[in-house]
Structure 1
Amino acid sequence: MAPKSKPNPDRDLHALIDVAKTTQTLLTHYQSSLTLSQTSSDSVTPSSTSETPPNPLDVIKATTTLLRSHTTTLSLLLLTPPLTATAISKKLGDVGAGVLSSMIAAALTAPQAGQKDELGTLLRTELRVQVKRVLGTWSDIPALVLRFAERRERDIKIGKAKDEGPSESDKQNVLSSTGVVWEACDDLLKICNNGVVGLVVKKAEEWRGTLKDAVEELKEWGEDEEDDDDDEAEGSDNEFKDEDDIFAAANKLGKGDKELKALLDISLKKLKLVGTLYQALIKRRLKVFPKSFPPANSTNGDASEKPLDSMEKLEKLMDILKSIPDTVDDLASGFYDLDEEEAKETLEKCCREAKSAAALVKQSWAGQDDEFTAWSEKWVSALEAS
């Protein structure tokens, strides 16, 4: 049996410094991979084997849980003197080459040709964004390790044998960095647990909130009419009005703009109905999106068209729901510019988008008529009549 080698603090610290620097280099490489994946359609595709590749959500969930645990251990090792270089080196190696490597591979994985995508582009993109965020927060950990190790190495060189441990400031930095990593990991775990449904509902509610805010601003603008009679009554004092009022008056809705005011009233009624559509879609379509996908049994338009599967239909729906608040912003700009023709055209575009969203998922995900089917027909009639 070979004798155990004696601990060598200098050698162990030097090795720890190397591991910390290598980990930082790995993190830079991983972050670059995720950045490129967001600007390119190229992603890691599992090799063709007889085995079914693991669900990326399961892999990311498992590795995120491990990362959180390893971070806690590293935090304790950094806070507890003396600095145990070998234990920290091993833990950093486990994270850099093991946990993070698996997490990145899962985040970059894309379905093979012909394989159904059960995550969808929206969730895959969100996972990559959140994994990149986790990497960004975790980069503080090897930086702290490097700082502690280099300082301890300097202390040994000047003959300071006893490790007195981190200062209060260092302790706060370790605890703060650990807390930030925990938060990022918890957010990523929440996305994994909520899956596709949780994400699309969250996004749709955010867009509905944006739509609601835009409509409220437009309503307030319509109520803030320019009063020509009051301006004349002010007499010569009018020329000394605050400059903000002078410039604001250029795009106020005048009391004489009856046609534009009527168009605004119509727009607000229609936009309120569009907001109602968001509510119905969230409840009747997004929250009940299936975990397994039945084949589409009907086509839209030409019979030669390939029917959209559930995930394709969901992503098309989300694209429309995302675009509507932007169209409403354009509509508001038309009103603010007192451009009646522009406002009218943009309102028609907004209504077309909303009706296309309702038509896209008029039937259930299984391709059957249901409560929403009948409701959407009444909704379209109300929108056209308003």
Structure 2
Amino acid sequence: MSTKSKATDASMRGLVSLTKTTQTLLAHFQSSLSPSQTPSKPPAPTASSSAPEPNALDVVKVTTTLLKSHTTTLSLLLLTPPLTPSALIKKIGDVSSGVLSNLVAAASTSVSPGQKDELGDLMRAELRTQVRRLIGTWGEVLALVLRLAERRESATGKDEGPTESERQDVLAATGVVWEACDSLLKVCQDGVVGLVVKKAEQWRGVLMDAVEELKEWGDDVADEEDEDEDKAEGSDEDDGGFGDEDDIFGAANKLGKGDKELKALLDTSVKKLKKVGMLYQALIKRRLKTFPKSPSIPAATTNGESTSPPPDLMPTLDRLMVLVKAIPETVDDLASAFYDLDEDEAKETLDKCCGEAKSAVDLVKQSWAGTDDEFTAWSAKWVEALDAS
């Protein structure tokens, strides 16, 4: 005869049912945060709700910290026999109806007309991506709850607790949630400035890698000419009449001896793109790192005084980051044009890339306070040097 009571059976069935329902809710949360979904607009302020909206980063920080704490408690409940349905039901309810709903709401709101944007497009997209990932990791913990509850529901006798394999699964899943929480908390801590600097540095790295690959591709021409001379001296060696395998499959996208104009364009492109790489460094130091932590606070000028930033401060940063992201993508297109030996396409794409870089310079020629500074003078010389190269 089973030693389990009817009350325990009912509680365990309730836990299984709640877990499955919560899994459906998590799927809905993740869908609402997908890139294809339009962020929901916050409710319009009314006369009775004059209190300012809470900062989204603050809400995300608080809810993420709570989620990490709840997950720790939940994992302890799973690891400590006997499995207690009532405690698990309460904890899952606290997470799904409170923590996660508030977290998703903070990550998915957009800016109402007339409302000052404190986050910007890049941060908003980052929050949605990271919260979506965090929900996915918490779903793995929930799946373990369901697995253990279903096993216990069908078992008889004393609850001996999870097996060693199940213990390791719980610890591993909890660790993944912690890591996702820490990553999201780091985003909140670094703020908009930290995020845009990080992204710009990553995109500059992609840009410079592409430039180096283009340079090495062009340098292969001289090496191949030397190899051709060596092969000519030993041409009586038997190659089966097919030549070298690299010659067969690589000739279609390699510069030949007669492609002097394309080689000259390649050299010019490498020079210009290296200057674009220098621009990224200047933008990071003089514009991104100096962006006010909040668009609603004064921005410091070169003489140490402060003035109110222009009302379109965040949109300007958004447009700048669109260009900073687009340039490496354009360089990828440029590389493809060279690999296809398409000189006209390469010229057009190089012009587009330089145009994007100049647009970025023009967008933030002045400081965030609207005054001339060191970058203003440097950027004018940079444009001249880019055109001359």
State yes or no: 1:32 paired with 2:31: yes
The answer for the alignment partner of 1:200 in structure 2 is 196
The answer for the alignment partner of 2:305 in structure 1 is none
| 8 A contact 2:26–2:139 mirrored in 1 | yes
CA distance in 2, matches of 1:323, 1:293: 24
Letter in 2 for 1:13: M
User: What SS does structure 1 have at the residue aligned with 2:283?
Assistant: helix
The answer for the alignment partner of 2:186 in structure 1 is 190
State yes or no: 1:335 paired with 2:335: no
Superposition deviation, residue 84 in structure 1: 1.4
CA distance in 2, matches of 1:80, 1:41: 43
Superposition deviation, residue 11 in structure 1: 2.2
Taking only aligned residues, the RMSD between alpha carbons, in angstroms, comes to 2.0
Superposition deviation, residue 232 in structure 1: 4.1
Superposition deviation, residue 200 in structure 1: 0.8
Of 32, 42, 45 in structure 2, the residue corresponding to residue 45 of structure 1 is: 42
Letter in 2 for 1:207: W
Letter in 2 for 1:168: E
Letter in 2 for 1:106: A
The answer for the alignment partner of 1:277 in structure 2 is 279
State yes or no: 1:75 paired with 2:65: no
| 8 A contact 1:46–1:110 mirrored in 2 | no
CA distance in 1, matches of 2:254, 2:146: 60
Deviates more, 1:168-177 or 1:14-23: 14-23
User: What SS does structure 1 have at the residue aligned with 2:346?
Assistant: helix
CA distance in 1, matches of 2:197, 2:219: 33
CA distance in 2, matches of 1:349, 1:233: 45
Superposition deviation, residue 242 in structure 1: 3.5
CA distance in 2, matches of 1:70, 1:342: 56
Of 352, 360, 366 in structure 2, the residue corresponding to residue 363 of structure 1 is: 366
| 8 A contact 1:295–1:366 mirrored in 2 | no
Superposition deviation, residue 339 in structure 1: 2.3
Superposition deviation, residue 42 in structure 1: 4.5
Identity of aligned residues (%): 67
CA distance in 2, matches of 1:176, 1:294: 42
Q: Rate the CA distance shift 1:40–1:136 in 2: closer, same or farther, 3 A.
A: closer
Q: Rate the CA distance shift 1:212–1:308 in 2: closer, same or farther, 3 A.
A: farther
CA distance in 2, matches of 1:131, 1:212: 31
The answer for the alignment partner of 1:251 in structure 2 is 253
Deviates more, 1:270-279 or 1:11-20: 11-20
Superposition deviation, residue 185 in structure 1: 0.8
The answer for the alignment partner of 2:109 in structure 1 is 109
The 5 Å alignment of 1:207-218 reads 207-218=203-214
CA distance in 2, matches of 1:328, 1:153: 59
Q: Rate the CA distance shift 1:83–1:222 in 2: closer, same or farther, 3 A.
A: same
Letter in 2 for 1:339: D
Q: Deviations 1:241-267 (Å, cap 9, x if unpaired)?
A: 333331212222223332222222211
Q: Deviations 1:235-288 (Å, cap 9, x if unpaired)?
A: 354633333331212222223332222222211111110000001001110111
Aligned residues: 365
CA distance in 2, matches of 1:41, 1:70: 30
User: What SS does structure 2 have at the residue aligned with 1:50?
Assistant: coil
CA distance in 1, matches of 2:39, 2:220: 51
Q: Deviations 1:328-386 (Å, cap 9, x if unpaired)?
A: 11222222222222222221221111111111101001110001001101111111111
Q: Rate the CA distance shift 1:134–1:52 in 2: closer, same or farther, 3 A.
A: same
The answer for the alignment partner of 1:304 in structure 2 is none
The 5 Å alignment of 1:14-163 reads 14-35=13-34, 38-48=35-45, 49-156=49-156, 160=157, 162-163=158-159
Deviates more, 1:61-70 or 1:7-16: 7-16
| 8 A contact 1:17–1:146 mirrored in 2 | yes
Structure 1: any 5+ residue segments left out of the alignment?
A: 1-5, 297-306
User: What SS does structure 2 have at the residue aligned with 1:99?
Assistant: helix
Letter in 1 for 2:139: S
| 8 A contact 2:41–2:112 mirrored in 1 | no
| 8 A contact 2:39–2:109 mirrored in 1 | no
Q: Deviations 1:101-146 (Å, cap 9, x if unpaired)?
A: 1111111111221101110111111101110000100001221111
User: What SS does structure 2 have at the residue aligned with 1:39?
Assistant: coil
CA distance in 2, matches of 1:295, 1:163: 59
Of 286, 289, 294 in structure 2, the residue corresponding to residue 287 of structure 1 is: 289
CA distance in 2, matches of 1:7, 1:46: 47
Q: TM-score, normalised by structure 1?
A: 0.90
| 8 A contact 2:218–2:266 mirrored in 1 | yes
Superposition deviation, residue 309 in structure 1: 1.1
The answer for the alignment partner of 1:168 in structure 2 is 164
Q: TM-score, normalised by structure 2?
A: 0.89
Superposition deviation, residue 46 in structure 1: 3.0
CA distance in 1, matches of 2:356, 2:106: 35
Letter in 2 for 1:26: L
The answer for the alignment partner of 1:301 in structure 2 is none
Superposition deviation, residue 7 in structure 1: 9.2
CA distance in 1, matches of 2:320, 2:178: 34
User: What SS does structure 1 have at the residue aligned with 2:26?
Assistant: helix
CA distance in 2, matches of 1:67, 1:141: 12
CA distance in 2, matches of 1:250, 1:20: 58
Superposition deviation, residue 91 in structure 1: 0.6
Q: Rate the CA distance shift 1:382–1:120 in 2: closer, same or farther, 3 A.
A: same
Superposition deviation, residue 153 in structure 1: 1.8
Structure 2: any 5+ residue segments left out of the alignment?
A: 299-309
